[in-house]
Amino acid sequence: MSESNNRQNQFLGTYFDRDNVLRITRAADVIAWIILTIYIVSWLFSLMLFLAQFFNGLYVNKGMTFLDTFSFFKPYLVEPLPGVLYFFALQGISKVLLILLDMEDNTRRAARK
């Protein structure tokens, strides 16, 4: 039962390992940009393929109206949306983790005073 009178150096309110949180936020940022890039490139290629097929007469019917044309084109408008949503979700997770890390750091500083 040896009791030490040394002052405790580690703050007991530590919830996060700073290095791991920073590593996770950087990874989330990089993965977000990779996912967005993949979705945008895929969307551009499929849009170019559709436009090439449309202007070469593959999707032409007699009496085709604007709404018929729009129904062919509509899926290409919504194709990149999941990538954009994944991008913002991962960016949001990254920023929330950084905010929580700052809150912990502020709490640690306040506890020292």
pLDDT grade, residue 9 (50/70/90)? low
- Cα 84 from Cα 97, distance rounded (Å): 20
pLDDT at 108: 76
Q: How many CB atoms lie within 10 A of CB 108?
A: 14
Domain tally, the chain: 1
- Cα 22 from Cα 17, distance rounded (Å): 9
Q: Comparing 20 with 111, which gets the higher pLDDT?
A: 20
User: Which residues form the domain of 54?
Assistant: 18-112
- Position 11 in a domain: no
Whole-prediction pTM: 0.72
Alpha helices, DSSP H, located in 1-113: 18-55, 66-78, 81-112
Residue 90 has pLDDT above 80, yes or no: yes
- Position 107 in a domain: yes
Residue 67 has pLDDT above 60, yes or no: yes
In this structure, what token pair is assigned to residue 101? Answer: 């890390």
pLDDT grade, residue 50 (50/70/90)? confident
- Position 44 in a domain: yes
- Cα 94 from Cα 90, distance rounded (Å): 6
Helix 18-55 × helix 81-112 angle, to 10°? 160
For the ranges 38-47, 54-63, 86-95, the lowest mean pLDDT is seen at 54-63
Q: What is the mean pLDDT of the chain?
A: 83
- Position 6 in a domain: no
- Position 4 in a domain: no
